[in-house]
Amino acid sequence: MEKYDEGKAIELGKIWMKNGINRGHDYEHASEVEKHAIEIMRSLEREGRLEKEIDKELISISVWWHDSYKARIKGWTLYGLIMEAYESEKIVRRELKEYVSPKRLEKAARAIRDHNLPIWYFLLTGKYPQVSQILFEADTIEELSTDRFFRSLNMSRNRIFTFLFKLYSMNRIFWWKFLPNSKYTQNVINEYKNSL
Ligand SMILES: [Fe+2]
């Protein structure tokens, strides 16, 4: 009998996010991040750059659990802003230890810990594991969504906030050119720039 059950780990992540109380870090967000993450993984595979231990299950585990802490917090707190990735890492290590092998859990936990770091951290340290890269790219792409931005603020669209949000997003995507990124992400960013 198989000792670990990664399907269960993903299913539990979906239940966790469904039970969340944070509008920007909810089931819908994780679900969109997963779609992008799978496309990024396939893009890296086509480019011959995908590491061989990385597969869809590992990516889905990282995605469904990456905002597990924030999902349980209503609104914003300074602690949450700084420590969310560390707290989510603690949750994933605790909740999934019986479902995911230690080696694979380590990769997912590392990606979750890395996902809220600024780009310059990766540039300065050169520490950019591929699972972290896939999660980071997918999460950032999803956060460019204006719909998601207004959903997280629980307000209807308006021009001033759309303009400010796009200004903020432009600053985020400026830094992408300095990181190794997938062709999929490059295309999304180019399309986004053209739509501005
Ligand atoms: Fe996220």
| Torsion over CA: 96, 97, 98, 102 (sign) | positive
Distance 31 CA to ligand 1 centre (A): 10
Q: How many helices (H) and strands (E) does the chain have?
A: 10, 0
pLDDT of amino acid 140: 93
Res. 151 pLDDT band, cuts 50 70 90: confident
193 touches 161 (CB < 8 A): no
Does 1 score more than 60 pLDDT?
no
When pLDDT is averaged across residues 52-73 and rounded to a whole number, the result is 97
Best CA proximity match to 176, nearest among 125, 138, 150, 147: 138
Where does residue 172 rank: exposed (0-12), middle (13-18), buried (19+ CB within 10 A)?
Answer: middle
Model pLDDT for residues 91-108, shown as the tens digit of each residue:
999 999 999 999 999 999
Q: Would the pTM count as exceeding 0.85?
A: yes
Does 2 score more than 80 pLDDT?
no
Please give the share of the chain, as a percent, with pLDDT higher than 90.
Answer: 71
Return d(Cα 15, Cα 42) in angstroms, integer. Answer: 26
When pLDDT is averaged across residues 159-166 and rounded to a whole number, the result is 89
Please give the share of the chain, as a percent, with pLDDT higher than 70.
Answer: 99
When pLDDT is averaged across residues 15-39 and rounded to a whole number, the result is 95
Distance 1 CA to ligand 1 centre (A): 34
Does 37 score more than 70 pLDDT?
yes
Distance 67 CA to ligand 1 centre (A): 5
When pLDDT is averaged across residues 51-78 and rounded to a whole number, the result is 94
Res. 147 pLDDT band, cuts 50 70 90: confident
Where does residue 177 rank: exposed (0-12), middle (13-18), buried (19+ CB within 10 A)?
Answer: exposed
Distance 107 CA to ligand 1 centre (A): 17
Distance 45 CA to ligand 1 centre (A): 23
66 touches 112 (CB < 8 A): yes
Superfamily designation of domain 6-195: Hypothetical protein af1432 (1.10.3210.10)
